[in-house]
Each structure stands twice: as structure tokens, then as C-alpha cells.
């Protein structure tokens, strides 16, 4: 795995973390699954070797 720039990782954590936290608070499980899936896909795409 290559090194990820800190700014990219920070934006990723802030955006998906707050969206996921909000979905958990509302008990909206469809949103929880959606944001987890999107977060995993974007994280995988960011770390994938080009």
C-alpha cells in the first residue's frame, strides 16, 4: 500500500465519518450501509496502484 497524502485522508474521514455518524444516530440502516460501501470503494480506489 502506498502512502496516502494526509489531506486526502482527512477529507475522507471527515466526510464519510460524519455522514456515517449521522446515519447511525437516525437509525437509518440503508444510509449506514450506503456510506460504508461508498467509503470502502473510495478508500480502495485511493490506495489502488495505478
Each residue's pLDDT, cut to its tens digit, for the chain (50 residues) gives 556 566 677 777 788 788 888 888 998 888 888 888 887 887 787 777 66
| pTM of this structure | 0.61
**Residue 43 vs residues 24, 26, 27, 33, 39: alpha-carbon distances, Å:** 20, 24, 24, 15, 6
Sequence-ordered strand ranges (E) for the chain: none
**Residue 16 vs residues 43, 44, 49: alpha-carbon distances, Å:** 10, 14, 22
Domain limits, the chain:
6-47
Crossing angle (nearest 10°) for helices 6-26 and 29-47: 170
Amino acid at each position: 500500500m502506498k502512502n496516502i497524502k494526509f489531506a486526502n485522508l482527512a477529507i475522507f474521514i471527515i466526510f464519510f465519518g460524519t455522514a456515517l455518524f449521522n446515519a447511525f444516530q437516525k437509525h437509518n440502516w440503508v444510509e449506514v450501509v450506503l456510506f460504508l460501501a461508498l467509503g470502502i470503494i473510495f478508500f480502495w480506489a485511493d490506495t489502488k496502484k495505478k
